[in-house]
Amino acid sequence: MKYLVPLLLALTAITARAQDDEMPVARALPVAERDTTTRLQIFLDQQLFGPGKIDGRPGEFCTKALIRYQRAHGLPETGKVDENIPLDSVFPVYTEYTIQDGDLKFIGEVPSQPSGQSKKKYLPYEDLLEFITERFHCAPEFLAKINKGLNLDKLKAGDTVRVPNVEPFKIEELPKTGNLAEQPEFKTRVINIHRAEKMLDIYDGDKLIAAVPITPGGGRLATPAGAWKIVGIAAMPTFRWDKGVLEHGVRTENFFNLPPGPNNPVGVVWIGLNKPGIGIHGTNTPQTIGRSASHGCMRTANWDGIRLSKLITKGMIVNIY
């Protein structure tokens, strides 16, 4: 004990001198597995190699995204964090977001059935927790862990929430509806979709530039293999909900036209292919990406779908394996 007090005084003096002299202070490196995993997920998300929802847990999509990041940078594809992965570049790991009055216009009632949804003009988020988790690409339970003491079920304008340091998904900046402009310089890029791996990769020549997890179709409504083309990209799409199409792949007269919004079943973006009824699109259930089957299409989280739409254009080849 007699040595402890002088040591603490010395450390305090060193810290004070560092502050006075503006000495650079090394960033603290993560020590716990969850800290390392969280920082890795944020790093991969920042680099456009989507690890799925940020939850601080090791998982298949985090590993797949890491392998693809390593492949894109000519590194050994180990799927493990080593000295080649600059996790210290994730700084800060967390940031804060203060809920704005304008955010509330994206919150509202969402009827549970398509018949009721079809009567709405917009399908918003059901609450501010859903708004925040999608905006910052994370799981609700993870947000609760890093915001102890804050009641996430009763968020309101003016509340400040601790969030992962990722590029925010800003729904307020999306076009209201309609096709996105073509970008001719992207036409030579290629999308490769691996149904078994549940991953979508974007290549520019031989260079892998981005990858995101998806949910492909399964069973009787499996996503069709082949080489297809993008015929159009639409923001804030409407959706023709047809039970016959969803369950059997057969178009019927028993349908409802559902309005746009983040809780539309195809999310906030539709990337149509030259295979009728098949496309890459967002979702109203981002927590299930890669963990359930779709009805023939390929679902992505809304935040990934929008970032994807900025890297591609009409006329691109989509290879489905």
Domain layout of the chain by residue ranges: 33-89, 94-170, 178-320
How many beta carbons lie within 10 A of that of residue 79, not counting itself? Answer: 15
User: What's the rounded Cα separation, in Å, for the pair 116 and 155?
Assistant: 26
Q: What is the pTM of this model?
A: 0.86
Cα 107 from chain centroid (whole Å): 20
Architecture of domain 178-320: Beta Barrel (2.40)
Dihedral angle over CA of 303, 305, 308, 314, nearest 10: -150
pLDDT tens track, the chain, 321 positions: 433 333 333 333 333 333 334 334 334 444 456 689 999 999 999 999 999 999 999 999 999 999 999 999 999 999 999 999 999 999 999 999 999 999 999 999 999 999 999 999 999 999 999 999 999 999 999 999 999 999 999 999 999 999 999 999 999 999 888 899 999 999 999 999 999 999 999 999 999 999 999 999 877 778 999 999 999 999 999 998 887 767 766 777 788 999 999 999 999 999 999 998 899 999 999 988 976 655 678 999 999 999 999 999 999 999 999
**What Rg, from alpha-carbon coordinates, does the chain have?**
22
Q: Which residues pair with 68 in a beta bridge?
A: none
